Structure 1
Amino acid sequence: MRKIIGKLMLGIMGWKFTLSIPLEKFKKCVLVCAPHTSNWDFYYCIACFWSLGVPYKIMIKDDYTKPWYGFIFKSLGCLGVNRKSRNNLVEYSAKLIKESKSMALINTPEATRSWSEKWKKGFYYIALEAQVPIVLAYADYKNKEAGISKIIGVENNSIQEIFSEIENFYNPEMAKYPEKYNPKIF
Structure 2
Amino acid sequence: MPEPRRFVIIAAPHTSNWDFLYFLGLTTDLGVKAHFMAKTSLFRWPLGRFMRDMGGVPVERSYNRGQVQQMVEEFSRRDEFMLTIAPEGTRGSVRQWRTGFYQIALAARVPLVCGLMDYGRKVGGLGPAIMPTGDYAEDMKKIMEYYSSVTPRHPERAGNEIIEASQIWDSQSKDSYL
TM-score by length of 2: 0.79
Distance 1:66 1:86, change over 3 A: farther
* Corresponding residue to 1:144 among 104, 110, 122: 122
1:177 aligns with 2:177: no
1:111 aligns with 2:89: yes
Structure 1 unaligned regions, length at least 5 = 1-22
Offset at residue 89 of structure 1 (A):
1.0
1:68 Cα shift? 3.6
Q: Distance in 2 between matches of 1:116 and 1:62?
A: 26
Moved more, 106-115 or 161-170: 161-170
Structure 2 counterpart SS, 1:139: strand
Structure 1 position 118, deviation (Å): 1.3
Aligned to 2:67: 89
Instruction: State the TM-score, normalized to the length of structure 1.
Output: 0.76
The answer to whether structure 1 residue 160 and structure 2 residue 125 are counterparts is no
Do residues 48 (structure 1) and 33 (structure 2) align? no
Whether contact under 8 Å (2:95, 2:160) holds in the other structure is: no
Q: 2:139 is matched by which residue type in structure 1?
A: I
Shift in CA distance, 113/29, structure 1 to aligned 2, threshold 3 Å: same
SS at match of 2:141: helix
Query: Residues of 2 paired with 1:65 and 1:177: CA distance?
Result: 30
Paired residue type of 2:143: I
Query: What do you get for the CA RMSD once the two structures are aligned?
Result: 2.4
Moved over 6 A (4+): 82-85
Distance 1:166 1:45 in 2: 19
For 1:82 and 1:36, the matched residues in 2 are separated by: 24
- In percent, how many aligned pairs have the same letter? 29
Question: Which of 22, 31, 35 pairs up with 2:13?
Answer: 35
Q: Which ranges in structure 2 are unaligned for 5 or more consecutive residues?
A: 166-178
Matched residues, number: 163
